Structure 1
Amino acid sequence: MIEIHPVLLIYQIVVFLIFVYLMYRFVYNPVIRMIDERRRKVEMEVEDAEKKIKDAETLKGQYEKKISEIHKEIEQMKKDAEFKANEIRNKIISDAQEEANRIIEYTKRRTE
C-alpha cells in the first residue's frame, strides 16, 4: 500500500504553490502584458488604416470632382473655339464677298 507522509505532502504543496506563484509572477503577467501591448498595437494600426482609407476616399472624391470640372471646362473651351472659328470663317467669307463685289464693280466700271 502507498504511504503518504504528511510532512512530504506539505512540502510538495508548498513547493507547488511557490512554483505557481513564480509562474504567475514571471511568466503569466509578462505574457498577458505582451498580449495586451500587441492588441493595442494592432488596434492602433487598424485605426490608422481606417483613417487612411477615409482620407483616400476623400481624396478620390476631390479628384473626381476636379476631373468633372476639367471636363466641363474642356467642353466650354471646345464650344468657345467652335464659336470663334465660326466667327472667323464668317468674317473671311464676308471679306471675300466684299472683295469679290469690289472686283466686280471695278471690272464693270472699266468695261463701261
Structure 2
Amino acid sequence: MSFAFWSRLKALVRKETKQLLRDKSSLGIGLVLPVILILLFGYGLSFDLNQARVGVVVDQSSPQVNQVLAGLNGSRYLTSLEFHNLPEAEQGIRNGKIDAILHLPSDFANQAQQGNA
C-alpha cells in the first residue's frame, strides 16, 4: 500500500476523531452503547439449555427406540415425559407441560437401519 493511502487514512481518522469528540451524543453511542450491549448479551441473557422437557411418543418399541430413550434419560439437559399418542403430546405443548415433542414412528427401526432416522 502506498504512502498516499496511509496519509489519507490518517487524515480521515483524525477528522472522525475530532467529530466524535465534538459531539458527545455520538461518543455515547460509539463507546458506551457497545459496552452496555456486550454486558447485556454476555451476562444478562443466558441461552443455556437446562432441563428442557421433551414429550416422547413411541408408536412401536424396538432396540433402536430403546437406545434413543436411554440417551434421552441419560442427558442432563433434557427431561423426557412419555405420551401415548401425538395429540396428547400436542396438548402437553399447548398446556406448557412440555417444550418439545419427539415422535418415534412405527418404522423408526427400519429407517435407523437404513440411515434415514
**Which structure has the larger Rg over C-alpha atoms?**
1
Instruction: Give the structure with the higher percent strand.
Output: 2
Greater share of helix residues, 1 or 2? 1
TM-score for both structures, normalised by structure 2: 0.26
TM-score (norm 1): 0.27
